[in-house]
Amino acid sequence: MNNVLVVEDKQSLRLMLRKALEKAGYWLAEAGTGEAALECLQTHSYDVVLTDLKLPDISGIEVLKAAQSGNFSTSVIVMTAYGTIESAVEAMKLGAFDFVQKPIDLDHLLILVSRAIVHQHLASENYLLKDEFAKRFGIPTIIGEHESMVAVSRQVQQVAVTGATVLLLGESGTGKELFAKGIHNLSPHKDGPYVTVNCAALPESLIENELFGHERGSYTGASDRHIGKFELANHGTIFLDEIGDLPLAVQAKVLRVIEERKVDRLGGMTSLDTDVRIITATNRDLDLAVEKKEFREDLFYRLSVFPIMLPPLRQRRSDIPLLVEHFLMRFGSELKKKDVGITPEAMQVLQEYAWPGNVRELRNSIERAMIVCSNKMIRPHDLNLSTQRPMLTLSDPSTSLELKVDFDGTIKEVTERVVAEVERLKIRTVLREVGGYKAKAAEILEISYKTLLTKLKDLSIHT
């Protein structure tokens, strides 16, 4: 349900607007003053803000600016009395979607709100994948036009404006760090600190101290108070990368932070309140870790309120040329080789490679190739990918479907990849045979309809 914030000091008009908008199917929030509207915008995201230009405390222009700074895809419609059209025009110059004159024509207003909703959806549909987002926040650009990346972008934007804990899943090098920063910058906590902790990079003996801090004298050598990462991230976001490597003893304390919003320093006598958005990431199978008693089940459920699976590069090969172009421009500037290109043969090598290291490996390959290439074109031998990982080819002779599986790594890793690709191939084949009819496909596959839907999501099969 689309939500609308109405900012109007006259209660009778607010009541009239509420009845009309709720009858049209919108969820409504109200504010009688500009300051109340600013408070609403700090804690919630709205598809449309409908605000009077003349408010008893601050100008509706200030509400407009706050709406745009808090969520740059919010559409703002201003209400103006007769004789103040110039102010409404000025508001549109500042980014308002449209304006409506008082007395309000409800039919006209509902048309404007409907159009504003469409505008808002179009503006926000793929914002994470646009250069404007990276330039606005000074973070690396997320590149991708494949449907799987567009789907991930939508999920990120949906959850970012909430306070929900997010679990980013995917192989190393798929961009979990970039999406975590994107969630922070789209969230109500965006003006607070953003703190990153790599749980796999810290020794087990130090990670509890890093996360929660300690009081002076809490242990031998603790000569000063140390503030932990959770405290540093207060009123902001903490990103716990490689959460699957967190020791069991520390997992219990992280669970308490999530459930009670309190932090205990080592050696501390009192608990500290904390307001922090938690984003976690892992390339491990946490379900299996829970089954093996290596990860707390209760913590897993609290972390996976909103899981997002990032696709590996081999599943979105159509994005490789876009990524290559981006890295050529980036390293061309850094290495002062702006005129370097790539031959079709080299591009084909990149398209066919398994990319076990995903986008990170592609980036490193392009950087190296630009350093060693002897002319203005990158050739296959410059990529240093001649010794490709062995690949297992899977195909269905009755269809044109063919998938290649990276055959490098441990037996467990290869087995997981093979099983996933076999399931993907089988499901896609059956869906093609039944014309995309999922209920029939589930019957043929002898699995429940719910299980099929889960596999379609987990295996990134789009129908």
Query: Does the pLDDT value for residue 4 go beyond 80?
Result: yes
Q: How far apart are CA 380 and CA 73, in angstroms?
A: 43
Q: How far apart are CA 419 and CA 85, in angstroms?
A: 64
Q: Are 26 and 4 in contact (CB under 8 A)?
A: yes
pLDDT on residue 244: 92
Q: Which residue has the tokens 């004298």?
A: 217
Helix H or strand E encompassing 278: strand 276-282
- What is the dihedral sign for C-alpha 452, 458, 459, 463? positive
- For the chain, the maximum distance between any two Cα atoms, rounded to a whole number of angstroms, is 76
CATH 3.10.450.50 applies to domain 313-383: no
Of 98-107, 285-294, 319-328, 384-393, give the range with the top mean pLDDT.
319-328
| Count of helices and strands (H, E) across the chain | 19, 18
Please, which residues have CB within 8 angstroms of residue 98's CB and are 6 or more apart in sequence? 77, 78, 92, 112, 115, 116
| Class at the top of the CATH hierarchy for domain 391-458 | mainly alpha
Average pLDDT, the chain: 84
End-to-end CA distance of the chain: 25
Burial-class residue 419 by CB neighbours within 10 Å (0-12, 13-18, 19+).
exposed
Q: What is the DSSP letter of 59?
A: B
Helix H or strand E encompassing 98: strand 98-101
Res. 400 pLDDT band, cuts 50 70 90? very low
Q: What distances in angstroms separate CA 172 from CA 53, 271, 273, one per listed residue? A: 50, 36, 34
Q: How far apart are CA 433 and CA 77, in angstroms?
A: 49
In 3D, which of 148, 97, 158, 96 has the Cα closest to residue 127?
158
pTM above 0.75, yes or no: no
Three-state DSSP at 168 gives: strand
Q: Are 98 and 152 in contact (CB under 8 A)?
A: no
Side chain identity at residue 74, one-letter code: T
Average pLDDT rounded to a whole number, residues 353-373: 91
What does the block give as tokens for 233? 């991230």
Domain range list for the chain: 3-124, 137-309, 313-383, 391-458
Query: Does the pLDDT value for residue 437 go beyond 80?
Result: no
pLDDT on residue 59: 87
56 preceded by a cis bond (ω within 30 of 0): no
**Domain pair 3-124 / 137-309, same fold:** yes
Q: Which residue has the tokens 């804690």?
A: 43
pLDDT on residue 220: 67
**What CATH number labels 137-309?**
3.40.50.300
The residue ranking higher by pLDDT, 150 or 126, is: 150
Res. 143 pLDDT band, cuts 50 70 90? confident
Give strand pairing partners of 169.
282, 309
The residue ranking higher by pLDDT, 59 or 403, is: 59
Least confident of 101-115, 132-146, 184-198, 296-310: 132-146
3-state helix, strand, coil in the chain (%, to 5): 50, 15, 35
Query: Does the pLDDT value for residue 435 go beyond 90?
Result: no
Q: What is the DSSP letter of 295?
A: S
Least confident of 63-77, 323-337, 393-407: 393-407
Query: Does the pLDDT value for residue 129 go beyond 70?
Result: yes
- What is the tens place of the pLDDT at every residue in 199-217? 988 887 789 889 998 887 6
Q: What distances in angstroms separate CA 247 from CA 97, 203, 209, one per listed residue? A: 51, 10, 13
Query: Does the pLDDT value for residue 426 go beyond 80?
Result: yes
Q: How far apart are CA 462 and CA 316, in angstroms?
A: 12
- The CATH classification of domain 3-124, taken from the options 3.30.70.100, 3.40.50.2300, 1.20.58.1610, 3.40.50.970: 3.40.50.2300
Helices (H), 138-188: 147-160, 176-185
